[in-house]
Amino acid sequence: MLSDEAIKEFQEIYEKEYGKKLTWEEASDASWRLHEFYKILFDVAKKEHFRKLKLKDNPKGFHMEGGKYSCCICGTYVEGESSWYDKNGIKCLLCQKAVDQKIVPSKACKDKDSWYAMWELDHYFKIRTATAKKMIREGKLNARIVPTAESSPYYYVFMIKENIELFGPKKREHKVTKNEDESITIQL
Binding site for Zn ion (CB under 5 A): 71, 73-74, 92, 95
Specify whether the backbone of 65 is left (phi greater than 0), alpha (psi in -120 to 50) or beta: beta
Rounded Cα–Cα distance for residues 107 and 97 (Å): 15
Q: Least Å distance between CB 182 and Zn ion?
A: 14
Q: Least Å distance between CB 97 and Zn ion?
A: 10
The nearer residue to Zn ion, 95 or 159, going by C-beta atoms, is 95
What is the DSSP code (8-state) at residue 50?
Answer: H
The nearer residue to Zn ion, 7 or 71, going by C-beta atoms, is 71
Q: Least Å distance between CB 153 and Zn ion?
A: 13
Q: Quick one: CA dihedral 18, 38, 109, 55, positive or negative?
A: positive
Q: Least Å distance between CB 186 and Zn ion?
A: 27
The nearer residue to Zn ion, 81 or 173, going by C-beta atoms, is 81
The nearer residue to Zn ion, 26 or 120, going by C-beta atoms, is 120
The nearer residue to Zn ion, 92 or 118, going by C-beta atoms, is 92
SS3 string, 65-118, reads EEEEEECCCCCCEEEEEEEEEECCEEEEHHHHHHHHCCCCCCHHHHCHHHEEEH
- Please name the residues in contact with 181: beta carbons below 8 A apart, sequence gap of 6 or more: 44
- Please name the residues in contact with 83: beta carbons below 8 A apart, sequence gap of 6 or more: 63, 64, 69, 71, 90, 91, 92, 93
Q: Least Å distance between CB 92 and Zn ion?
A: 3
